Amino acid sequence: MNEEEIYQPLKNWVELDFSKEAGHYGKINYVEITAQKRYFKSSKNKGNLAPDVSAIDSKNHLIVFECKSLGQPPDLEQLARYTQGAHYVYTVIDESVPNLQLYQKILSFLEIGLITYKKSTGKDYVFVFQSKSKLFEALYSRTNLKILKTIHAQKPKIIIFPHSKTHFPTKNDLLRLIEQYKTGEDSTYCHKANKILPSGSIVLFAYGDEIIGQAAVKVNRKATQKEIEEQKKKGYTPRFTFEPFKDLVCVFPRSVKLTEIKTLQSYKGKRLYSIVRRYPDLPFEEYAEILSKALSKPKSIP
């Protein structure tokens, strides 16, 4: 077991469960795997830092997570440097590490938070929130926040977009819209979600309990006043508009039931909502699984 194996499961857990577990933070706005990229600076020694996973909450706090693989103790000196570049600092270590209670006491003294993990059946990881981190007033935190926001804004996303039956009474209504994008008859898609969708992002169109197709984003921008007024007449107020590449829009050969994606790490044990903001960005590996299901023969689902 190495650190890289738990970066993505940890990212998913932070995105979906961390706020609830930690209790004293606002909602997590976004999370990135930042290991080995040297994005952040420490105010104490001016050194570059590379926390394994980094997040920003709704209060604009930067939270960093440093992972250690099986049997490895936390690097206390490195964690102390993170306190000079982030608001909250957590170490993430295997629950079977020797002298865990001793490290927990040391981390508590340093006011650094602790999260433990274990590997369960298959590739699943279970994360347990052990103790909170202190709020550190890091000198470089504003710079680091700006850097992380820039990273997030520039990185293409993969996101599921559910559709309201108020605006699309039947699945055929959505299928007709997708066909208009393919032919170029319609070139814009107005949406409410405050999602940053740079060029190359993938939007998966969901209707009811199934994913029926996808589009690649050509450009995402704020909705114009004209678009807002036109959509308001239909009882819908968009925030953004994306233009799809018409040659990269398609209806899947077979729809993928939402029950089929509940096995993915991002959705395991989670409720699937009808609003976009409640759907996390998907890692490419999970998108590939959805795509493979769309191209395969349907299976009976209980």
Residue 25 has pLDDT above 80, yes or no: no
As given in the structure block, the two tokens for residue 152 are: 């997030």
What distance in Å separates the CA atoms of residue 229 and residue 161, rounded to the nearest whole number?
22
Indicate whether 59 and 90 sit together in one domain. yes
Report the pLDDT value the prediction gives residue 190, as an integer from 0 to 100.
Answer: 80
The CATH number given to whatever domain includes residue 55 is 3.40.1350
Question: Domain check: are 162 and 254 in the same one?
Answer: yes
Instruction: Report how far residue 79's alpha carbon sits from residue 133's, in angstroms, rounded to the nearest whole number.
Output: 11
Domain co-membership, 137 together with 115: yes
Q: 134 lies in a domain?
A: yes
Q: 94 forms bridges with which residues in the sheet?
A: 117
DSSP 109: H
254 shares its domain with 220:
yes
- Quick check: 28 and 14 in contact, CB under 8 A? yes
Residues 207, 72 share a domain? no
Residue 291 pLDDT: 93
**Which residues in 174-212 are b (16+ Cβ under 10 Å) and which e?**
bbebbeebbeeebebbbbbbebbbeeebbbbbbbbebbb
Higher pLDDT, 271 or 79: 79
Are the beta carbons of 130 and 104 closer than 8 angstroms?
A: yes
Neighbours of 280 (CB within 10 A): 21
Residue 45 has what pLDDT? 63
**Structural domains in the chain (count):** 2
How many residues belong to the chain? 302
**Predicted local confidence at residue 276, as pLDDT:** 56
pLDDT digits (tens, 9 = 90+) for 210-265: 999 999 999 888 888 888 888 887 777 777 888 889 899 999 999 998 888 877 77
Whether residues 165 and 141 share a domain: the answer is no
Q: Assess whether pLDDT exceeds 80 at residue 70.
A: no
Residues 183 and 272 in one domain: yes
- Domain end position, chosen among 132, 154, 176: 154
Side by side, the strands of the sheet bearing 28-33 are 28-33, 53-57, 62-68, 88-94, 113-119, 125-131
205 closest CA partner among 262, 155, 258, 260:
258
Chain-centroid distance of CA 22 in Å reads 18
Q: What is the CATH number of the domain that holds 246?
A: 3.10.590.10
In this structure, the answer to whether residues 254 and 200 fall within a common structural domain is: yes
Taking a C-beta distance cutoff of 8 angstroms, is the pair 80, 133 a contact?
Answer: no
222 shares its domain with 133: no
Return d(Cα 237, Cα 229) in angstroms, integer. 8
Judgement on whether residues 164 and 58 belong to the same structural domain of the protein: no
Q: Which of 154, 186, 214 is the last residue of a domain?
A: 154
Same domain, 143 and 225: no
Q: Model confidence at 302, in pLDDT bands (50, 70, 90)? A: very low
Q: Which of 94, 120, 154 is the last residue of a domain?
A: 154
* Span 175-210, pLDDT tens digits: 998 999 988 888 888 887 777 788 999 999 999 889
Residues 139 and 206 placed together within one structural domain of the fold: no
Closest CA to 267 of 27, 4, 16: 16
Distance CA 10, CA 84 (A): 23
- Is 209 contained in some domain? yes
Give the residue-averaged pLDDT of 267-285: 67
The region of weakest confidence among 93-102, 232-241, 268-277 is: 268-277
Supply the pTM of this predicted model: 0.74
Is the separation of the CB atoms in 201 and 158 below 8 Å? yes
* Domain that residue 289 falls in: 158-294
* Residue 273, in any domain of the structure: yes
Give the pLDDT of residue 166: 79
* Confidence at residue 55, expressed as pLDDT on a 0 to 100 scale: 94
Question: Tens of pLDDT along 130-158?
Answer: 999 999 988 788 888 888 888 888 889 89
Query: Is residue 302 a part of any domain in this protein?
Result: no
